[in-house]
């Protein structure tokens, strides 16, 4: 989402600064360093502001403060940026420059939203919308409606979000603006996807496609169709994806945009990974897309591509590529998720150390083969060679085991920063169930019905004896049936579902209303300390870190959708 807002701000910043030639030159000297050299731009802007306020320069204080607000936005100083924007408004005379005033209100709304001051953000967007409607500026109107729709989606106020996106559609329909009408419908589709209303989401995506097909905007059609096909994958509707595949391929073949072409390849790779398990094709699509994704810093797509690629190479038995992409994935995590990925990076480094030991063992084998020429030491060398072979085989087995564990952990961390929600399926294993265990397995079904379906796991005082009494049996049978059906002890089984409930609360859109203690109590734990320990044991991260990752994931998912 930040990338979307940044693009909007830069566009507006380059459009609404027309003043006298000398003043324009001064402002141009600032703009040429945005965003390539922000420190220099900030220093130069402060100097101009001082000279203007002291009367040494004749610059418009409203436009100079606006530019300083833009610079500080890029520097991530949202409060300071807002201060400059408000200063710009104070120096702007009523009716002097409505376009600049609309731009300032829009940018203020973005700053307030990044600072989680949603009330002020909404108020700023509404003021920007008033100016945009008065000017009948299609770009500004769509931008204002979209900002309002997105912020209400973020607040899970789907009715308000739908209201503004529908108003955008109604406005552009009256203006016969097919492109912006299609974009409004597309964002309504994204809204309903967030609200888990799949039928409505599908309908709006299809209506958007039908509208944009009436224009000559080939790239816009390809981008929208790619979003629709990606949506079908997220709901696992592989049949609908396959039905639309011929048209999708025909549309995207006309694309002349590196980033969009890479996004299409990622979508195709995701399809072959999720639906077909065709790892060789997945590798081809992903590797073809990687260069453009890295060049455009497409973090959401890369967070999917890297772990999937590692898994594909592992399934194909290509150890060299596994090692290479583990290194690249480590670099990626260090660059974009350093604070959240320390444990993951430690695991990656451990795998590298094992690989190094394996290489050293292989080198030793080669040296022993050379010594085998000496007949006197032939038996000794043969025995030593056998031992080294066994050690090497052991290292290979350990490396494969660690690789599998690493891929599982990679997918887990990727889910924390790149997917919309965290699934929680019960761990039911039937590997050790024999014919004599049928009654125990049936008892496990009753246990699961009692604890999970009736949500008895939310009772912090739930004990083994309570379940035994409720089901009319003894504690020993309850313990045996639970372990047989879930491969977990009774307390671990109950805590598994408590932690899953905690995950739902921490990643919900109302998570800011809950403290960690509230989450613990609402998940069935009587003590916060116990909850935090069990949560990290099951997920690998603390509840606070999980909560931050859930928020980060939603923001990045929104940015990728836009």
* Separation of alpha carbons 447 and 468, rounded Å: 9
Which among 112, 135, 158 is the end of a domain? 135
Residue 169 domain-assigned?
no
Contacting residues for 47 by C-beta, under 8 A, at least 6 apart: none
Q: Are both 447 and 530 inside the same structural domain?
A: yes
Residue 224 domain-assigned?
no
3-state secondary structure of 31: helix
pLDDT of the residue at 333: 81
Q: Are both 439 and 352 inside the same structural domain?
A: no
Joined together, the tokens standing for residue 379 give 């038996």
* Separation of alpha carbons 29 and 22, rounded Å: 11
Residue 288 domain-assigned?
no
Joined together, the tokens standing for residue 96 give 């002097």
Joined together, the tokens standing for residue 265 give 């390849």
Here the CATH number for the domain that contains residue 516 is 1.10.10.60
Residue 209 domain-assigned?
no
Which among 135, 158, 185 is the end of a domain? 135
Residue 523 class from Cβ within 10 Å (0-12 exposed, 13-18 middle, 19+ buried)?
buried
Q: Are both 372 and 402 inside the same structural domain?
A: yes
Q: Are both 405 and 444 inside the same structural domain?
A: no
pLDDT of the residue at 498: 92
Task: Please provide the size of the chain in residues.
Answer: 562
Instruction: State pTM to two decimals.
Output: 0.47
- From first to last of the 562 residues of the chain, give the pLDDT tens digit: 444 444 444 444 444 444 445 666 777 777 777 767 778 888 888 888 888 888 877 778 888 888 888 888 877 787 888 888 899 888 887 767 777 887 888 888 888 887 788 888 898 888 888 877 877 777 777 778 878 888 887 788 888 888 888 888 888 888 888 888 888 888 888 888 878 888 888 898 889 999 888 888 888 888 888 888 988 988 889 999 999 999 888 888 887 888 888 889 999 999 999 898 898 999 999 999 888 888 877 777 888 888 888 988 888 888 888 888 888 888 888 776 654 455 555 555 555 455 445 545 555 555 666 666 666 666 676 777 788 878 777 867 675 555 444 434 434 544 443 333 333 333 433 434 444 468 888 888 899 898 989 888 999 888 889 888 988 899 888 888 888 888 888 888 999 999 999 888 888 776 667 788 888 888 899 888 888 888 988 888 888 888 777 777 766 666 665 5
Contacting residues for 130 by C-beta, under 8 A, at least 6 apart: none
Is residue 145 a contact partner of residue 175, using CB atoms and an 8 Å limit? no
pLDDT of the residue at 356: 47
Q: Are both 402 and 451 inside the same structural domain?
A: no
Residue 264 domain-assigned?
no
Q: Are both 470 and 541 inside the same structural domain?
A: yes
pLDDT of the residue at 433: 41
Is residue 480 a contact partner of residue 505, using CB atoms and an 8 Å limit? no
Q: Are both 445 and 408 inside the same structural domain?
A: no
Which among 135, 164, 198 is the end of a domain? 135
**Residue 503 structural domain:** 435-560
312 closest CA partner among 278, 362, 337: 278
Q: Are both 503 and 377 inside the same structural domain?
A: no
Residue 246 domain-assigned?
no
Q: How many domains does the chain have?
A: 3
Joined together, the tokens standing for residue 360 give 């050293």
* Separation of alpha carbons 345 and 330, rounded Å: 6
3-state secondary structure of 278: coil
Contacting residues for 308 by C-beta, under 8 A, at least 6 apart: 269, 270, 273, 282, 286
Here the CATH number for the domain that contains residue 67 is 1.25.40.10
Contacting residues for 200 by C-beta, under 8 A, at least 6 apart: 192
Q: Are both 321 and 381 inside the same structural domain?
A: yes
Residue 492 domain-assigned?
yes
Q: Are both 406 and 472 inside the same structural domain?
A: no
């Amino acid at each position: 989402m930040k990338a979307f807002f940044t693009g909007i701000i830069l566009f507006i910043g380059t459009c609404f600064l027309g003043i006298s030639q000398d003043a324009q030159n001064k402002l141009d000297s600032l703009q040429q360093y945005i965003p390539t050299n922000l420190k220099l731009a900030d220093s130069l802007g402060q100097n101009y502001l001082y000279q203007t306020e002291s009367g040494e320069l004749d610059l418009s204080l409203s436009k100079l403060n606006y530019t300083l607000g833009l610079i500080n936005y890029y520097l991530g100083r949202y409060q300071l940026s807002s201060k400059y924007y408000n200063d710009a408004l104070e120096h702007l005379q009523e009716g002097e420059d409505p376009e600049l005033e609309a731009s300032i209100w829009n940018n203020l709304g973005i700053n307030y939203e990044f600072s989680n001051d949603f009330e002020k953000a909404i108020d700023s967007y509404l003021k920007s919308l008033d100016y945009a409607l008065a000017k009948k500026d299609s770009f500004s109107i769509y931008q204002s409606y979209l900002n309002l729709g997105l912020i209400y989606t973020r607040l899970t106020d789907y009715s308000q979000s739908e209201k503004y996106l529908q108003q955008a559609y109604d406005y552009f329909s009256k203006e016969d603006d097919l492109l912006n009408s299609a974009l409004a419908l597309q964002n309504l589709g994204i809204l309903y996807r967030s609200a888990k209303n799949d039928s409505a989401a599908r309908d709006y995506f299809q209506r958007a496609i039908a509208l944009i097909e009436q224009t000559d905007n080939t790239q816009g059609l390809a981008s929208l169709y790619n979003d629709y096909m990606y949506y079908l994958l997220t709901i696992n509707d592989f049949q609908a994806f396959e039905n639309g595949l011929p048209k999708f391929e025909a549309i995207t073949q006309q694309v002349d945009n590196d980033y969009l072409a890479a996004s299409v390849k990622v979508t195709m790779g995701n399809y072959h990974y999720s639906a077909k398990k065709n790892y060789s094709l997945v590798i081809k699509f992903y590797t073809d897309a990687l260069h453009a994704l890295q060049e455009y810093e497409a973090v959401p797509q890369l967070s999917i591509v890297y772990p999937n690629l590692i898994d594909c190479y592992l399934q194909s038995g290509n150890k060299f590529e596994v090692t290479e992409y583990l290194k690249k994935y480590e670099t990626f995590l260090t660059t974009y998720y350093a604070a959240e990925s320390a444990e993951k990076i430690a695991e990656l480094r451990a795998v590298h150390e094992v690989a190094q030991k394996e290489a050293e063992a292989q080198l030793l084998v080669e040296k022993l083969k050379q010594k085998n020429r000496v007949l006197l030491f032939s038996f000794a060398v043969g025995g030593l060679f056998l031992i080294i072979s066994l050690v090497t085989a052991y290292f290979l087995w350990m490396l494969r085991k660690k690789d599998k564990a690493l891929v599982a952990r990679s997918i887990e961390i990727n889910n924390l920063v790149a997917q919309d929600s965290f699934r929680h399926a019960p761990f039911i294993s039937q590997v050790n169930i024999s014919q004599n265990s049928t009654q125990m397995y049936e008892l496990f079904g009753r246990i699961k019905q009692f604890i999970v379906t009736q949500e008895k796991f939310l009772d912090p005082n739930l004990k083994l004896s309570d379940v035994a009494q409720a089901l009319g049996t003894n504690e020993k049978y309850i313990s045996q049936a639970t372990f047989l059906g879930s491969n977990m002890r009774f307390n671990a089984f109950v805590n598994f579902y408590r932690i899953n409930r905690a995950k739902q609360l921490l990643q919900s859109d109302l998570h800011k209303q809950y403290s960690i203690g509230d989450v613990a109590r609402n998940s069935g734990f009587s003590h916060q300390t116990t909850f935090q320990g069990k949560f990290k044991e099951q997920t690998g991260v603390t509840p606070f870190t999980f909560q931050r990752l859930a928020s980060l994931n939603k923001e990045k998912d929104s940015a990728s959708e836009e």
